[in-house]
Amino acid sequence: MTETNLRYQYNRLSIAEKLIAINVLVFIVNALVPFLFGISKNSIVQWFELPNDFFDFLVQPWSIITYSFFHGGFGHLFWNMLLIYFVGRIFLNLFDAKRFLNVYLLGVIMGGLFFVLGYNVFPAFFDINAYLIGASAGASAILIFICTYIPNQEVRVIFFNVKLWYIGVFVVLMDLIQLPSSGNAGGHLAHLGGALLGYLYARQLYKGTDIGAGFSRFLDAVANLFKRSEKKAPMKTVYRKQSRTTTSSKNYDAQSHQKKIDAILDKISKSGYESLSKAEKDFLFKAGKE
């Protein structure tokens, strides 16, 4: 498969599937490079994992995000990616890729902060040297976001239909129960941080406030720094009247489109996802892909 075909196939993926692809690629590279060059298994990940020591963190502040792209083993990777895939499908039926990325990355950051603060505030962790890796905090954030935003929506779990809020409560309780005894206290702290972010984001969004708007603008600014400057298009003669009409028409269509999405989301929040007609589900699915 050529590079062009690979790029085309990658661009067709949803944002959740792109995250999965990146995580899988990082996992393969992190396993193969040390093996092929006969170097330490920790030679790559040590630059990207999140340390629990605050001063070590200041030396590599990028690790507050990069830690989420590394995993300790295949099982660790598999279950995180499986959760991102299935929850991502529900999420992207309701919201666009930008909001998904906001919730996910803010969950990663909140999970990392919970990890660092937990190991520097609570005496039980003072004598432990630990590092955090894995996408669990981001996965927890999108899961709890959905469980909070549409709590009465039912999903199939093996043989039973279960309301999303039951799943959210179960996941959080399991992290709290396992925190003192599992041997992975740092991981559970990160899960809880991501879960808290997802809950707060959904609650505020339901009230009409997008707490990730500033972060989204920051991501856009960073992305613009890496965009190649485009050549100016040749000058064209245009009619001012026609330009205004076209712009007005586009704005009207965009507003009408958004109003329809908002009406469907209100219907979901009141009566659940299953109350939607097939046409409304199809419309919401297409809107999530845009």
Predicted pLDDT at 239: 47
Name the one residue in this structure whose structure tokens are 């992290």. Answer: 175
CB within 8 Å of 263: residues ≥ 6 apart:
none
Decide: 30 and 70 in contact? Cβ < 8 Å.
yes
Predicted pLDDT at 117: 95
Predicted pLDDT at 250: 58
The secondary structure of the chain in percent helix, strand, coil, rounded to multiples of 5, reads: 70, 5, 25
Predicted pLDDT at 248: 55
Predicted pLDDT at 243: 46
**Entry pTM:** 0.77
Predicted pLDDT at 251: 62
Predicted pLDDT at 6: 80
Separation between Cα atoms, residue 78 and residue 98, nearest integer Å: 24
| 154 C-beta neighbours (distance < 10 Å), count | 15
Predicted pLDDT at 271: 72
Instruction: Tell me the pLDDT of the chain (290 aa) as tens digits.
Output: 577 788 888 888 999 999 999 999 999 999 999 999 999 989 999 999 999 999 999 999 999 999 999 999 999 999 999 999 999 999 999 999 999 999 999 999 999 999 999 999 998 887 888 999 999 999 999 999 999 999 999 988 888 899 999 999 999 999 999 998 888 999 999 999 999 999 999 999 989 999 999 999 998 888 888 875 544 545 444 444 444 444 555 565 667 777 788 788 877 766 766 677 777 777 777 776 55
